[in-house]
Homo-oligomer: A and B are copies of this chain.
Amino acid sequence: MLMTAMCGGLFNQAQAGSELTTLLMLLHENGTITTEQYQRVLAESQATEQKNTAKIKNLQTQLDKATEVEVSVKGGVKIKSKDGAFSTKLGGRLQMDAANFSEDGKNQGDGTEVRRARLSLSGKMYQDWGFKLENDFTKSGVSGITDAYMTYSGFEGHTFQVGHFRDSVILQELNSDNDTQFMERALLSAFGQGRHMGLGDNYKGKNWTATAALFGDKASTNSATSDEGWGVAGRLTATPYQQGENLIHVGIASDYRELRSGSSVLSFKTSPESHLGGLKLVDTGTIVAAENYQVSGLEAAFVKDGFNGQAEYVRTDVERVGLADLAFDGWYAQMGYVITGEARPYKGNKFGRIKPKSVFGQGGTGAWEVVARYSTVDLSDKDVLGGEQDNFSVGVNWYATPTIRFMANYVTVLEVKGGANDGVEPDIFQTRFQWAF
């Protein structure tokens, strides 16, 4: 509309510019030109105007068409309709790892791997409807499907979600692996819930968020003759302090799960914060007679310019049929310092990836970050002796561009107490090359 008015007006005036008409009128008034001459030139001027108006319409149509959608390309591609009601993003990520183990009694395999290789299609339709489908090509069939859902955000503040998405109980799980400050999540990923098929509501208040969801099991297409497990999860977060990029984040969450009827295969284990090693140093093994369990967590984090910190405590309670209840727990605390000064970005109720102020190769240095983490998990309780593990890790992250990151981590297993690998305490050096958009 604006365009129409603008172009129409613009060219009409350019043609029969009022100044020419005025000059014509004055010349006529002055008697310089005759009435007949005046009318002849005026008629010519009007005819030109009419012809041009039609041509302008044509031009407008072309310009409107050309600006109907906005296409942007930064590795991934994003296409957006002009009115914002529709958008589609083609995204991807590739994480390539290498690891070396200074072994301690038991073998871990030095080597390389494609940690994650994903493509995703996501976007918005008819203003209020969102969609996403992402697949990880490192996994086979349905187990490669990560995010696969639809959303509806037609009610102020609420985003309803249906499909395969993350249980919202542990902050370090909610932060995308594209964005986490260490290559692998802390030891309490032993209690990680991953994604399940669910139905939830995410509410965003002024400085708080609330999430509640009902879940079935993982995405699958396996027809079965026993009832699927299910769960219910909730999380509350708040930012009691937020000033520009600086903030304090706190949260509390819990996730209750009932196991698939007639086939309990519950176990908790974790790699030593390195995915490449084949040995899980702590592992409960299958917990027989388990019926249900509850994962509960407390989380806190802060950002103060280039400094940031994050800590979490998670406890898991297991109910067994005819056997005593079990409780396992763990926690970690990590600190980061971005030497180049960028603040760790906060996204509603979790954290994003550091965006370098300058790009390497275009006169800049990228962003440089150093990080340190202490983490521990205890998988031993009563008759279940999974072992206890303590780790200390340091790392350097280089964000060469907003889409490219290099990571180097050094992990020291401080202690493994109990379980099958008691006293096996390797050191691990590992690196990652990542592109993600």
**A18 x B121 contact (CB < 8 A):** no
A6-B55, A19-B20, A22-B40 as given contacts; A113 in contact with B163, CB under 8 Å:
no
Complex contacts, A17 vs chain B, CB 8 Å: 15, 20, 45, 48
Q: Which of B45, B66, B81 contacts A73 (CB 8 A)?
A: B81
Binds B, one of A83-91, A245-253, A286-294, A368-376: A83-91
A45-B19, A73-B69, A401-B126 as given contacts; A278 in contact with B223, CB under 8 Å:
yes
Complex contacts, A339 vs chain B, CB 8 Å: none
Q: Does residue A108 face the partner (Cβ distance < 8 Å to B)?
A: yes
- Classify the interface of chain A: helix, strand, loop or mixed: mixed
Inter-chain CA distance A17–B80, complex, in Å, is: 40
**B137 x A227 contact (CB < 8 A):** no
Q: Does residue A154 face the partner (Cβ distance < 8 Å to B)?
A: yes
Q: How many copies of this chain does the complex contain?
A: 3
**B142 x A142 contact (CB < 8 A):** no
Inter-chain CA distance A20–B353, complex, in Å, is: 59
The contact string, 1 if C-beta is below 8 Å from chain B, for chain A 131-166, is: 101010111111011001110101000000011100
Give A229's nearest chain B residue, CB to CB: B111
Question: How far apart are A138's CB and chain B's nearest CB, in angstroms?
Answer: 5
**A15 x B14 contact (CB < 8 A):** yes
**B13 x A11 contact (CB < 8 A):** no
Complex contacts, A162 vs chain B, CB 8 Å: 96, 433
Q: Does residue A333 face the partner (Cβ distance < 8 Å to B)?
A: no
Q: Does residue A265 face the partner (Cβ distance < 8 Å to B)?
A: no
A128-B361, A142-B138 as given contacts; A109 in contact with B227, CB under 8 Å:
yes
**B111 x A227 contact (CB < 8 A):** yes
**B135 x A137 contact (CB < 8 A):** yes
**B133 x A119 contact (CB < 8 A):** yes
Complex contacts, A51 vs chain B, CB 8 Å: 13
Complex contacts, A228 vs chain B, CB 8 Å: 109-112
**A32 x B23 contact (CB < 8 A):** no
**B52 x A197 contact (CB < 8 A):** no
Q: Does residue A115 face the partner (Cβ distance < 8 Å to B)?
A: yes
Complex contacts, A48 vs chain B, CB 8 Å: 13, 17-19
Q: Does residue A102 face the partner (Cβ distance < 8 Å to B)?
A: no
Q: Does residue A9 face the partner (Cβ distance < 8 Å to B)?
A: yes
Inter-chain CA distance A65–B63, complex, in Å, is: 11
A135-B137, A224-B109 as given contacts; A126 in contact with B362, CB under 8 Å:
yes
Question: How far apart are A111's CB and chain B's nearest CB, in angstroms?
Answer: 3
Inter-chain CA distance A71–B67, complex, in Å, is: 10
Inter-chain CA distance A81–B76, complex, in Å, is: 12
The contact string, 1 if C-beta is below 8 Å from chain B, for chain A 10-46, is: 1101111111101110110010110001001110110
Q: Does residue A4 face the partner (Cβ distance < 8 Å to B)?
A: no
Complex contacts, A69 vs chain B, CB 8 Å: 71-73
Give A150's nearest chain B residue, CB to CB: B435
Q: Does residue A404 face the partner (Cβ distance < 8 Å to B)?
A: yes
Inter-chain CA distance A210–B268, complex, in Å, is: 50
Inter-chain CA distance A20–B17, complex, in Å, is: 11
**A113 x B197 contact (CB < 8 A):** yes
Q: Which of B86, B115, B227 contacts A75 (CB 8 A)?
A: B86
**A271 x B223 contact (CB < 8 A):** yes
Q: Does residue A234 face the partner (Cβ distance < 8 Å to B)?
A: no
A26-B33, A41-B23, A52-B13 as given contacts; A276 in contact with B223, CB under 8 Å:
yes
Question: How far apart are A143's CB and chain B's nearest CB, in angstroms?
Answer: 8
Q: Does residue A243 face the partner (Cβ distance < 8 Å to B)?
A: no
- 9 nearest CB pairs, A to B: A111-B228, A140-B141, A112-B216, A109-B224, A112-B197, A66-B66, A223-B278, A19-B45, A225-B278
17 contacts between A and B (CB under 8 A): A6-B58, A13-B51, A17-B20, A17-B48, A26-B33, A73-B79, A94-B149, A96-B150, A96-B197, A117-B148, A125-B403, A129-B435, A137-B142, A138-B141, A138-B219, A139-B142, A140-B141
Given contacts A14-B15, A20-B23, 13 further A-B contacts (CB under 8 A): A13-B48, A30-B32, A65-B70, A69-B71, A90-B121, A92-B133, A98-B216, A111-B228, A117-B135, A125-B435, A127-B361, A129-B400, A154-B361
